[in-house]
Amino acid sequence: MTSLPGQAAACARYEQQRTPLFSLGTVLITPGALDMLEALQLAPLPFVLRHVAGDWGDLCQEDKEANAAALTYGSRLLSAYDIPPNHRLWIITEADRRSTTLLLPEEY
């Protein structure tokens, strides 16, 4: 499998931390996200570990602040990861923390 810069670091940070910031619930992946990751020979786990550790990826400051508030008040969490050459992966954990979904933005 190919790894992107930051994936190994995210796994290492999570291993050091070992305490997720929130519950993921059931982790799901859409067919489009699965196809994209498989085509790029990338595993979904490093992205999930980054998400649960609070590395929100390539979000604007406003969305990062919304995630910080969501950790306190229990609303939905979003991460977005730009994957070269021109791909983007979203991870959404629902407000009730019952599920987390990896998906492509166009599948939303």
pTM for the full predicted model:
0.85
Contact call for residues 98 and 90 (beta carbons, < 8 A)? no
Per-residue pLDDT averaged across 80-104, rounded? 97
pLDDT grade for 96, boundaries at 50, 70 and 90: very high
At residue 81, what is the residue type? Answer: Y
Query: How far is residue 62's CA from residue 81's CA, in Å, rounded to a whole number?
Result: 16
* Residue 87 confidence (pLDDT) above 70: yes
Is it the case that residue 1 has pLDDT exceeding 50? Answer: no
Dihedral pair phi/psi, residue 26, rounded to 5°: -75, 130
Among 2-6, 17-21, 78-82, 100-104, where is mean pLDDT lowest? 2-6
Q: 26-29 and 99-103 as β-strands: parallel, antiparallel, unpaired?
A: parallel
